Amino acid sequence: MQYRTLGNSGLRVSVLGLGTYTFGGRTDRETSIRIIHTALDNGVNFLDTANIYASGLSEEIIGEAIAGVRHEVILATKAGGRKGKGAMEAGLSRLHLQRELDESLHRLRTDYIDLYQVHTFDPSTPLEETLLTLDGFVRSGKVRYIGASNYRAWELMKALCLCERLKLVRYVSVQSSYSLIDRTVEQALAPLCVDQGIGLIPYYPLAQGILTGKYISVDTVPPGSRLERDPLFANRLTPDRLELSRELTKIAGDIGTTPGALAIAWLLQRPAVSTVIAGASQPEQVVMNLRALDVTVDSTSLSKLDQISAPFIYGRPYATFRLK
């Protein structure tokens, strides 16, 4: 396994992280625990979850799975998403964040979070209130580092400037959708991360399976696929994305690897990227994703990948998450 520092922080994270969105939902508890153990056994130390994943079950499962090895794990969770129908059940207010941090600590069976992330920007709460609250978490010892998720470039820069002016702990990382079919972060967010020493954490690196090569058309439904479970997923299978997937599969075949591994390997070469979050619904998928670490992308193949994905720098983002 390879490790990198998370931005300018002192955290050293595995270049491949484990996303746990499906744990406690589509992926049952027993399978989820086996996935976590497979990841840890292969050197993955970065686990990413959120308080809203499976209504908290994802955090509970992780807490059970890492009992006894907590010190070996870089544990990341998020808050800010909606937990209930009440007026204070979402957002980045002091009240909501304090309550959610304590509940996450309880579910995760730990007394500290390595990376505590705000799930998205909250326009209804003064940014100073959010940052002061997060600073207090770090000073209390309940949180080691803080990060942002789904921030636009101007939102992140505003937060960094406020932290400097108010002498607060600053964000060390930002999560964003980033893949060969979603390069919109390269317009402003990625260059900002390079300039400010912020670790970029891509999620949806395989675009929910589109970049694995298993989708040929919207009319062909692979058994057990997301498209089989959710017919509305067909809306994501646009002609330009499917064409890129076909081109990716061809290039991967030419260099003797899988399209999924090549897609992750390409991401690992992008500036500012510290770790790539890859989900898994079976332990075998963790092993498949780890193949990306053995992929050597020659200059010709890299040039082809850059070329076929260039239209997606200014294309429609594949995924965004904002408070509603």
* Whether the Cβ atoms of residue 59 and residue 104 lie closer than 8 Å to each other: yes
Cα gap 154→189, rounded to integer Å: 8
Active-site annotation holder among 21, 53, 178, 204: 53
**Residue 151 catalytic?**
no
Closest residue by Cα to residue 20 from 7, 10, 29: 29
Interstrand relation of 173-177 and 143-149 (parallel, antiparallel or unpaired): parallel
* Whether the Cβ atoms of residue 149 and residue 117 lie closer than 8 Å to each other: yes
Cα gap 210→260, rounded to integer Å: 9
Cα gap 324→322, rounded to integer Å: 6
Sign of the CA dihedral 216, 222, 226, 228?
A: positive
- Tokens for 100, please give them: 């959610």
Owner of token pair 């027993």: 30
Maximum Cα interatomic distance, the chain, rounded to a whole number of Å: 55
Q: DSSP per residue over 72-131, as a string?
A: G-EEEEEE-S--SSSTTSSSS-HHHHHHHHHHHHHHHT-S-EEEEEESS--TTS-HHHHH
HSE value, Cβ hemisphere, 13 Å, CA-based, for 153: 13
Catalytic residues: 53
